[in-house]
Amino acid sequence: MTDTLPPSGCRAADPPRDCYFRKGCNPLAETGRSKLQNQRAVLNQQILKAVRMRAGAENLLRVTTNNKTREQVLLELSYVNSDLQILKEELEGLNISVEVYQNTEQTFSIPLIPLGLKETKDVDFAVALKDFILEHYSEDGSGYEEEIADLMDLRQACRTPSRDESGVEMLMSYFLQLGFVENRFFSPSRNLGILFTWYDSFTGVPVCQKNLLLEKASLLFNIGAVYTQIGTRCNRQTQEGLQKAIDAFQRAAGVLNYLKETFTHTPSYDMSPAMLSVLVKMMLAQAQECIFEQICLPGIRNEFFTLVKLAQEVAKVGEIYMLVNTAMNQAPVKENIPYSWSKLAQVKSDHFRALAHYFIATILSDHQLHQNDDEDQQEKAFSQLYDHMPEGLTPLTLLRDRGQRKQLGKAHLRRAIVYHEEALRFCGLCKKLRNIEILQEILSVAHKRSCLKYSQQEQEDDFLSLGQAPDILPKTDHKIEMIPPQFSKVKVKDFFERLGPLTVFSAKQRWTAPRTVSFHCESGSLGFTVKGGPPVHIYCLDPTCPAALAGLREGDCLVSIGGVDCKWLGVSEILEKFKNLRGQQDIEIQVISCQDSTASMHNKSATYSVGMQKTYSLICLAMEEDKIDTTKKVTPKLSFLSWGTKNRQKAASTLCLPAIVTGGSSAKKKPGSPFTLLSSEGSLY
């Protein structure tokens, strides 16, 4: 095993395979977060059972003609639907359990929203990969048991990543390792039959497909989820902690956006483009909120220009959360995103807009224009606060006229109080938010502060009529941008590099089985030379030399010399080996001949779909052997779950997965990177 560390409490005498965990993974930690994930797994199983029961009841309802039976089935359906609704509410409760993910220290900050990890089932790679190695690479698959075990151990560790950078690095390493596995074993002309099952993070409905791209997409979602959990865990009472939180939410937004742009037709709602767009906006909004907290952390000075800057900064936060709330209430996202998330976005939007009006009211009520003040600068700053000034007022007149300033200040206070009351009202409408004590306390304190300042102003000039305070223009000097995933910083070694260089020994390439060529080296000349590599190719072959007469061909790849594997050797190393063997009677080598890859993809896809109304249901991709008469000309049908770029217009359904596009002649292709699907035209982008 690689990168493994013994957990605390393990005895030295224990067997190493019974007591270890991979760096970045701690499945033994009984934390509140792991308990939530266990509860999520249990709910997923209960939802799956209820979905199957409903599917059976619906099928019976379609075929039965007996009225009494129909009544019984309809009654059963009502019970099952009620159970599904209750289970969905329980899952939503787990998604809003934000206090578990927050920093453990006592803080006076509004909770941030993390994403829960997608759950998956165990996958056994052993049988399928061994068979493929034997059939495709003409090697004994049992010789690669250790590599297969490493792959399965890494996948198992990725189910319980630690909530830190090492956890992210482990998930990324598995994602990159899947790039090697995909190119090594997932051939366009053959399906391995490995079934991947992942549960929707919001609905709990499973998605099952024999497609590695489902695994890669779900892994990207979990990378983004871990980043959100890192962000919520940071100590927001320090500058360093806030900066880490900002960076984590930017990276989470970058990973989720990369997932949205890469896998465009995902088969579960939590990874649909609409849902991912909302999640990206929410992460950027939380990063912007941390920016505002970072500005306020040293303390807020009651100074004109400071308050102007803060008012526009917090108005920007309120505007972003308003856009997030609007997006959350649009179909189809509205039906699946947790109700409490939408309400929390609304609460934050009203709360931060109330703070913006409070800051402006403080400027107008507490500050007067003095002779020593820079009148032009204050006028310029004040003129940029509003899209349009109140009727009959100019910035300079407002700054000079104490009565007008007081009147407008009270109007801003009144709007601040209205927004505070709206935030408290929306918070009270949601049962989950009502149970978050720190949120209720923060909203109440802010509301009381605005009411107190308004009561102080009410004692003076109460006879003045109050107009509507204008909206404050949002503005920020700290623009938040997404940080895309930086896979290049994670160094990964191909588990199956013993199979040979990936440019030649891949699932897309086809070649003959290794054949042995024995020949005698006459007069110190081989009769051929080699070029390229690794592996090297036979070049300038003399058709009359002993090697050619023994069956060597121009362009053959040299894979073994004297029983020693030489797939990874270059020209100079190969020539040195031949030089050392010239004194022997016979030289024995093994070569392979590359073939054109003309096999097309098997169009063997079937779907089984049942499930929740207006949500994704259980989707299973069952691969069956095609039975096509070879004498007939049959136009191949596209898979129902096809993500290929060439099929996007025909596969507009969001119930689609990507299909690998068959390439041309493998012998004419340029050497590709190990991650062909991350850069080729046949990829999903």
339-366 and 402-429 helices, crossing angle to 10°: 160
Q: So what's the pLDDT on residue 479?
A: 84
Which tokens go with 102?
């927050």
- Say which residue, 14 or 243, is predicted with more confidence: 243
Q: So what's the pLDDT on residue 611?
A: 38
Query: Number of C-alpha atoms within 13 angstroms, CB side, residue 672?
Result: 25
- Say which residue, 677 or 67, is predicted with more confidence: 67
Which tokens go with 397?
């007149």
User: Dihedral sign, CA of 28, 30, 34, 40?
Assistant: positive
Q: Degrees (nearest 5) of the Cα angle 114, 116, 122? A: 155
Helix, strand, coil percentages in the chain from 3-state DSSP, rounded to 5: 50, 10, 40
Q: So what's the pLDDT on residue 643?
A: 39
Q: So what's the pLDDT on residue 152?
A: 93
Instruction: Say whether 385 sits in a helix, a strand or coil.
Output: coil
Phi then psi for residue 206, to 5 deg, are -80, 150
* Mean pLDDT for the stretch of residues 408-417: 89
The answer for residues whose C-beta is within 8 angstroms of residue 591's C-beta and 6 or more apart is 514, 515, 517, 538, 552, 553, 556, 557, 558, 559
Examine the pLDDT at 395 and tell me if it is beyond 70.
no
pLDDT, the chain, mean: 76
Q: So what's the pLDDT on residue 67?
A: 83
End-to-end CA distance of the chain: 34
Q: So what's the pLDDT on residue 27?
A: 55
Check: CB of residue 203 under 8 Å from CB of residue 88.
yes
User: Dihedral sign, CA of 588, 589, 590, 596?
Assistant: negative
Q: How many helices (H) and strands (E) does the chain have?
A: 18, 14
User: Which band of pLDDT confidence, cut at 50, 70 and 90, is reported for residue 639?
Assistant: very low
- Say which residue, 6 or 240, is predicted with more confidence: 240
Q: So what's the pLDDT on residue 675?
A: 36
User: Which band of pLDDT confidence, cut at 50, 70 and 90, is reported for residue 684?
Assistant: very low
* Mean pLDDT for the stretch of residues 654-663: 36
Residue type at position 181: V
State pLDDT tens for residues 419-458. 999 999 998 888 888 888 888 999 999 999 999 988 887 6
The answer for residues whose C-beta is within 8 angstroms of residue 431's C-beta and 6 or more apart is none
Examine the pLDDT at 33 and tell me if it is beyond 60.
no
* Mean pLDDT for the stretch of residues 391-414: 77
Examine the pLDDT at 513 and tell me if it is beyond 60.
yes
Examine the pLDDT at 608 and tell me if it is beyond 80.
no
User: Which band of pLDDT confidence, cut at 50, 70 and 90, is reported for residue 95?
Assistant: low
User: Which band of pLDDT confidence, cut at 50, 70 and 90, is reported for residue 371?
Assistant: low
CA–CA distance, 173 with 158 (Å, rounded to integer): 10
Of the ranges 9-18, 56-65, 146-155, which one carries the lowest mean pLDDT score?
9-18
Of the ranges 6-15, 141-150, 448-457, which one carries the lowest mean pLDDT score?
6-15
Examine the pLDDT at 114 and tell me if it is beyond 60.
yes
CA–CA distance, 279 with 291 (Å, rounded to integer): 19
Q: So what's the pLDDT on residue 89?
A: 65
**Nearest to residue 589, comparing CAs of 536, 542, 552?**
552
Check: CB of residue 566 under 8 Å from CB of residue 535.
yes
Predicted TM-score of the model (pTM): 0.74
Phi then psi for residue 429, to 5 deg, are -75, -20
Examine the pLDDT at 103 and tell me if it is beyond 60.
no
Examine the pLDDT at 314 and tell me if it is beyond 60.
yes
Examine the pLDDT at 328 and tell me if it is beyond 50.
yes
| DSSP code of residue 296 | H
What single string gives the DSSP state of each residue in 610-667?
E--TTS--EEEE--------TTS--PPPPPTT---GGGTTT--SSS----PPP-S-GG
Q: So what's the pLDDT on residue 656?
A: 34
* Mean pLDDT for the stretch of residues 93-111: 60
**Nearest to residue 208, comparing CAs of 191, 190, 194?**
194
Q: So what's the pLDDT on residue 638?
A: 39
Strands 510-511 and 206-209: unpaired
Query: Number of C-alpha atoms within 13 angstroms, CB side, residue 197?
Result: 16
Bridge partners, 203 (sequence order): none
Examine the pLDDT at 626 and tell me if it is beyond 50.
no
State pLDDT tens for residues 556-607. 888 888 888 888 888 888 888 887 776 666 888 888 887 765 443 333 333 3
Report the share of the chain in percent with pLDDT over 90. 27
Instruction: Say whether 120 sits in a helix, a strand or coil.
Output: strand
Q: Identify the H or E element spanning 135.
A: helix 126-136
Q: So what's the pLDDT on residue 518?
A: 86
Examine the pLDDT at 176 and tell me if it is beyond 70.
yes
Bridge partners, 608 (sequence order): 620
Examine the pLDDT at 146 and tell me if it is beyond 80.
yes
Give every strand in the sheet of 618-621, ordered side by side: 196-199, 206-209, 618-621, 607-610
- Say which residue, 357 or 603, is predicted with more confidence: 357
CA–CA distance, 536 with 538 (Å, rounded to integer): 7
Q: So what's the pLDDT on residue 646?
A: 36
**Nearest to residue 350, comparing CAs of 449, 461, 427?**
427
Q: So what's the pLDDT on residue 261?
A: 92
CA–CA distance, 105 with 10 (Å, rounded to integer): 29
* Mean pLDDT for the stretch of residues 317-338: 90
Rg (CA), the chain: 33
Please count the other Cβ atoms lying within 10 Å of the Cβ belonging to residue 452.
10
State pLDDT tens for residues 46-73. 777 777 788 888 888 888 888 888 888 8
* Mean pLDDT for the stretch of residues 20-43: 57
Q: So what's the pLDDT on residue 153?
A: 92
